[in-house]
Amino acid sequence: MTEPVRVAVLISGRGSNMLALSEHKRRDPDRTYKLALVASNVPEARGLVLAKRLGIPTWAKSHEGMKRAEFDALLDEQLHAHEIEIVALAGYMRLLSPGFVEKWEGRILNIHPSLLPLHKGLDTHKRAILAGDEYGGCSVHVVTADLDSGPVVAQAKVKILPRDDAESLAERVLEEEHRLYPLALEEYCRAVRELEGETPA
Ligand code: GRF
């Protein structure tokens, strides 16, 4: 049987998407990926506690006082130490250095809470409502040097209701994120193995 792709999830906060990725794997161990590391630039991130409970190896270090490239070099070292093949950003609130992105080209995914290319960056739900958009949603995309601009691999739409505020919309979009990200990661990892000439069982 083909080995699952070893994935590192990068988080900075509560880690609910990380949990969804882990749950998806737990429901069927034959998934094309395995969470081999959860890493964070915020040592007190709640998601780290969840990851430890799930028995996933963790690494955390505050980026404060460090140059971006310096921190990313440490992160890169950890990824190699854990034989990581794909990096999944899940609420990782720190820009990656261009050198890191280049080194991991095509191997970093991110989930963003908008229908990209609309509303890159922060405050996406508020901006979608203010713009009068009919739909909000979320996108899984490949990370490139430009923020939230890499190729989109999957999207889910959420209807914006007249009574919505940023919080209520965020809540419904998050539910979609939890559905979308595991499926998108699963497919991406299948493609990774296929490109290597192997088909996951
Ligand atoms: C999610 O909305 C994700 O789309 C965005 O940050 C949030 C992270 O939430 N990038 P969580 O830490 O996965 O709960």
- Out of 10, 96, 125, 174, mutate this one to test ligand 1's pocket (max ligand atoms within 8 Å of CB): namely 174
Closest-CA residue, ligand 1 atom 10, reads 91
- How would you write the chain as a 3-class SS string? CCCCEEEEEEECCCCHHHHHHHHHHHHCCCCCEEEEEEEECCCCCHHHHHHHHCCCCEEECCCCCCCHHHHHHHHHHHHHHCCCCEEEECCCCCCCCHHHHHHCCCCEEEEECCCCCCCCCCCHHHHHHHCCCCEEEEEEEECCCCCCCCCEEEEEEEECCCCCCHHHHHHHHHHHHHHHHHHHHHHHHHHHHHHCCCCCC
In the reported structure, the alpha carbon of residue 113 is separated from the centroid of ligand 1 by a whole-number distance in angstroms of 7
For 3-32, write each residue's pLDDT tens digit: 999 999 999 999 999 999 999 999 999 999
pLDDT at 198 over 80: no
Instruction: Output the pLDDT for position 2.
Output: 87
Closest-CA residue, ligand 1 atom 7, reads 91
For 84-121, write each residue's pLDDT tens digit: 999 999 999 999 999 999 999 999 999 999 999 999 99
In the reported structure, the alpha carbon of residue 85 is separated from the centroid of ligand 1 by a whole-number distance in angstroms of 22
pLDDT at 201 over 80: no
Percent over 90 (pLDDT), the chain: 97
pLDDT at 78 over 60: yes
